[in-house]
Structure 1
Amino acid sequence: MELADLLVPGAVVAGVKVTSKKQLLGSLAAQAGKLLGMDERRILEAILERERLGSTGLGGGVAIPHAKLAGLTSVMGVFMQLETPLDFDSLDGKPVDLVFLLLAPEEAGAEHLKALARVSRLFRDQATLAKLRGSSSSDALYALLASYGQQKAA
């Protein structure tokens, strides 16, 4: 599974201005709702339910909030680069500035885990993280993310 399989151009947003974790999760849910034609409150509730189990802030300034939703037919993602890092209750206590939301169908097992693993690999690649942090446009971020798997395979 490649990142290009999870994202559409409208799912990648640069320079997002939010001041709290809840506001960030609401922005992610709103963007996903718009792309999916689903109620953003339903998406937000699913994300918050997962966050109550433990923070999805991995450390190093990155987070992968995720949830399963009835009505989805495939795994999809929303990526946001924040203008200013914010507290996300991350494992290392450091603020987050790169966030990749993953939403999966309720019955998705292996597909959901493969997508999480793929995004986790992306977020461990320091060179790619530097490029993501250095990009200032949504289009540039999308191109970088969509080509990530192909760069590694070449």
Structure 2
Amino acid sequence: MDIADLLTPDRIVLDVRARDKAQLMSEIGRTFRRLVPALRPEAVETALLAREQLGSTGLGAGFALPHARLEGLQSYLGLLVRLARPIDFDAIDAKPVRLVFVLLIPASAEASHVAALAAISRRFRDRERVARLVKAETSGLAYGILTEN
């Protein structure tokens, strides 16, 4: 699975202000609602927070990959959030998170979401790419950085 299958330039939000993980999840719910009116912000927020209860999706090096299954979703939906200031995310390396890629998964999807999560995490292991994403001035530029080979 390619990251371009999960993300569009309009689903990249730069310099979001959030004081903590809970506030960020609430903001993510509202952002998805603006982009996909059929999604209820509360459902997105609840699903993401429930997944976080199982264990943090903070993968280290300033990156988190929150994900959740949602009933009624027909296809995978990705959202890249770059925070204005890093926040604590209970990441595996205990470092704060600045880049957050959110993946919403159709409830009917079987194990195919594992390939999607792997495709996303591979992109964020590239330190040069991550440094460029942190500095990107527009969502279009960030999309180009994230989707280039």
Equivalent residue of 2:28, what SS?
A: helix
Partner in structure 2 of residue 135 of structure 1: 136
Whole-Å Cα distance in 2 between the matches of residues 19 and 136 of structure 1? Answer: 22
Give 1 or 2: higher helix fraction: 1
| Cα deviation, residue 14, structure 1 | 1.1
1:13 matched residue in structure 2 = 13
1:111 match: 112
Secondary structure at 2:141 match in 1:
helix
Task: Name the TM-score, length of structure 1 as normaliser.
Answer: 0.91
Aligned to 2:22: 22
1:87–1:96 contact (8 Å) kept in structure 2: yes
User: Which sits farther off after the overlay, 97-106 or 126-135?
Assistant: 126-135
User: Could you tell me how far 1:56 is from its partner in structure 2?
Assistant: 0.4
List alignment gaps of at least 5 residues for structure 1: none
Q: Give 2:7's aligned amino acid.
A: L
CA contact (8 A) 1:11 1:77 kept: yes
Deviation at residue 71 of structure 1 after TM alignment:
0.7
RMSD: 1.1
| Structure 2 portions without partners, runs of 5+ | none
| Residue identity (%) | 43
CA distance in 1, matches of 2:122, 2:33: 26
Letter in 1 for 2:132: K
Give the letter for the 2:85 counterpart.
Answer: T
Q: How far off is 1:114 after superposition?
A: 1.1
Equivalent residue runs for 1:88-107 within 5 Å: 88-107=89-108
How many residue pairs align between the two structures? Answer: 148
CA distance in 2, matches of 1:8, 1:123: 17
Q: Which amino acid aligns with 2:101?
A: F
Aligned to 2:33: 33
Give the C-alpha shift of residue 34 in structure 1. Answer: 2.3
1:58, 1:103 → 2: CA distance? 17
Contact 1:68 1:104 in 2 (8 A): yes
Q: Structure 2 length normalisation: TM-score?
A: 0.94
Deviation at 1:35, TM superposition (A): 2.0
1: distance between equivalents of 2:123 and 2:55? Answer: 21
Give the CA deviation at 1:36.
Answer: 2.2
